[in-house]
Amino acid sequence: MNNKKDLILVLDFGSQYTQLIARRIRELRVYSLIEPCTVSTDKIKKIAPKGIILSGGPNSVYEKNAPMPDREILNLNTPILGICYGMQAITHLFKGGIKHTSTREYGRAEMYIDNHHDLFFTLPEKITSWMSHGDTITRLPEGAKKLSHTQQTPYAAFSIPKKKIYGVQFHPEVAHTEYGLQIISNFVFRICGCFPSWQVKNFIQETIAKIRRQAGKDRVICGLSGGIDSSVTALLIHKAIGKNLTCIFVNNGLLRKNEPRQVRKIFKEHFRINLKYVNAAKDFLSKLKGITDPEQKRKIIGYEFIRIFENEAKKIKNVKFLGQGTLYPDVIESVPFFDGPTAKIKSHHNVGGLPKKMKLKLIEPLRELFKDEVREIGKELGLPEKILYRHPFPGPGLAVRILGEIDREKLALIKEVDAKIEKIIKKHGLYKNIWQAFAVLLPLKSVGVMGDKRTYEYVAAVRAVNSLDGMTADWTKLPYKVLEELSSEIINKTQGVNRVVFDISSKPPATIEWE
């Protein structure tokens, strides 16, 4: 069966929720794609979606350069759902009225359903919806019917039945909207008539066959970090071409306690993957000596990684391909429109995209996937829980968690503290509910007293955050009991740390990592 037979196209007008819309559709087992709102109608015709969703966005339709969909898409006879700004853009194009209000409707709003026919089929009379808008529709577009309202918004949803066009002022894609997934499902299945054909199992089979065709008898190399993306990439390529894949695992000395051993054990012994292990800890540490600036640390680590990876890769003969764990968000974020004004805050170093000089062709089996789908595939391929659910870890590793200069003593300390945090969080059954929990070693010592002796030792910070995608994060409200245990376990059992602090900053304005 064709996995992507029916697809929904999401046009991005700059909303922070665009990817979430696309993910929700995939949850319904229908393939979804994201394109910038400037995409041409010709391209849309080639994609041949069964439905189109116009995302929200930060603009107001009356602004000078407000983005608008190509008018022609309104005549494609393809159902369209406009969300928030998308709804206002439709209203504008169909000559409805929009007013800029001084009071923004933001957050939860009780919404009353006026029409249960298709978009709101099976919904109760009243639901909680999530709103985030300044502009409000005051007059329906030509040929439109009202579908719902709130106290502040007379037209919270409408449809133009003749054209199969729908608009909703609220965000059905966010979890705060009750029945949000049901609304999206009504659009995808009832209105667009999609068939749920997107299945991870089919994806695996198709992808393995594709890699086999692509690689032929040539050799492929792949950087393995032990993270979920590179692990799943390696497993898929390995399933396709077996011994013709060589993975290179560079131990930079900045990994978590026991991580190098675990990764080798899993991939070499369990999956029998051709794995080249390079212990380059010394090289990295010597290059980092005396370096305190976070950006410089990141650059040095990135550069050193390429050098070592290339060096090792050269020793393998007949390599024509490089396997990379690029995900769909990386692909769409590299298109200029999607980049938007997001400033570069930290230069992220990933294994992906590095050895450009090597002139290798790329194999990127995860290019179409979101993180949760990669996890699903990993599970299907037998990847152990340890890797599947391991908290995200930055490319530059512990180097950005030891503030200031790095040395062996600090590395040994942070590994111990970090392992203790993981152990205690797991013991309390909190690990899977937390996005990341880890240790940060501060570049300062403080006075303490142990037994009858004065101590002068390092301060460690515990960082724990909840997040959906790492873009924003809340600090985790760990119970006092857990904090108490963390503090006493770390201080009593790590020689060299006599004080523990807990980080209560959210992102923004802080970031998750300290450097």
Task: Show which residues are catalytic.
Answer: 84, 171, 173
Stretch that binds ligand XMP, among 65-73, 342-350, 372-380, 448-456 (CB under 6 A): 342-350
Alpha-carbon distances, residue 218 vs 212, 273, 277, 286, 351 (angstroms):
10, 16, 21, 36, 22
Rounded Cα–Cα distance for residues 511 and 515 (Å): 8
**How far apart are CB 351 and ligand XMP at their closest, in Å?**
8
**How far apart are CB 305 and ligand XMP at their closest, in Å?**
11
**How far apart are CB 339 and ligand XMP at their closest, in Å?**
16
Shorter beta-carbon distance to ligand XMP: residue 378 or 396: 396
Does 349 interact with ligand XMP (rule: CB under 6 A)? yes
Rounded Cα–Cα distance for residues 9 and 51 (Å): 6
Tell me the number of residues near ligand XMP by CB under 6 A.
14
Nearest to 115 by CA among 174, 156, 77: 156
Neighbours of 48 (CB within 10 A): 11
Shorter beta-carbon distance to ligand XMP: residue 211 or 254: 254
Shorter beta-carbon distance to ligand XMP: residue 28 or 388: 388
Q: Are strands 80-83 and 165-168 parallel, antiparallel or unpaired?
A: parallel
Does 511 interact with ligand XMP (rule: CB under 6 A)? yes
Does 513 interact with ligand XMP (rule: CB under 6 A)? yes
Shorter beta-carbon distance to ligand XMP: residue 76 or 403: 403
Shorter beta-carbon distance to ligand XMP: residue 501 or 510: 510
> Which residue among 239, 346, 367, 445 contacts ligand XMP (CB under 6 A)?
346
Shorter beta-carbon distance to ligand XMP: residue 143 or 508: 508
**How far apart are CB 403 and ligand XMP at their closest, in Å?**
13
**How far apart are CB 346 and ligand XMP at their closest, in Å?**
5
Rounded Cα–Cα distance for residues 87 and 71 (Å): 14
Report yes or no: 178 and 123 within 8 Å, Cβ to Cβ.
Answer: no
Nearest to 450 by CA among 416, 501, 500, 499: 499
Does 350 interact with ligand XMP (rule: CB under 6 A)? yes
> Which residue among 15, 233, 436, 498 contacts ligand XMP (CB under 6 A)?
436
Site map for ligand XMP, 248-267, x if CB under 6 A?
Answer: --------------------
Neighbours of 375 (CB within 10 A): 19
Alpha-carbon distances, residue 44 vs 36, 38, 39, 52, 405 (angstroms):
11, 11, 7, 9, 52
Does 329 interact with ligand XMP (rule: CB under 6 A)? no
CA contacts within 13 A on the Cβ side of 18? 29
Rounded Cα–Cα distance for residues 246 and 267 (Å): 11
**How far apart are CB 472 and ligand XMP at their closest, in Å?**
9
Residues 364-403 that bind ligand XMP (CB under 6 A): 392, 394-396
Site map for ligand XMP, 469-508, x if CB under 6 A?
Answer: -x------------------------------------x-
Q: Determine the 3-state secondary structure of 76 from DSSP.
A: coil
Does 186 interact with ligand XMP (rule: CB under 6 A)? no
Please give the backbone phi and psi of residue 112, each rounded to the nearest 5 degrees, phi first. -105, 125
Rounded Cα–Cα distance for residues 426 and 505 (Å): 22
**How far apart are CB 457 and ligand XMP at their closest, in Å?**
26
Shorter beta-carbon distance to ligand XMP: residue 5 or 507: 507
Provide the strand spans (E) within 114-244.
Answer: 126-139, 145-149, 157-160, 165-168, 219-223
Residues 6+ apart with CB under 8 A from 301: 252, 254, 284, 288, 349, 395, 396, 397, 399
Contact footprint for ligand XMP (CB under 6 A): 346, 348-350, 392, 394-396, 436, 470, 507, 511-513
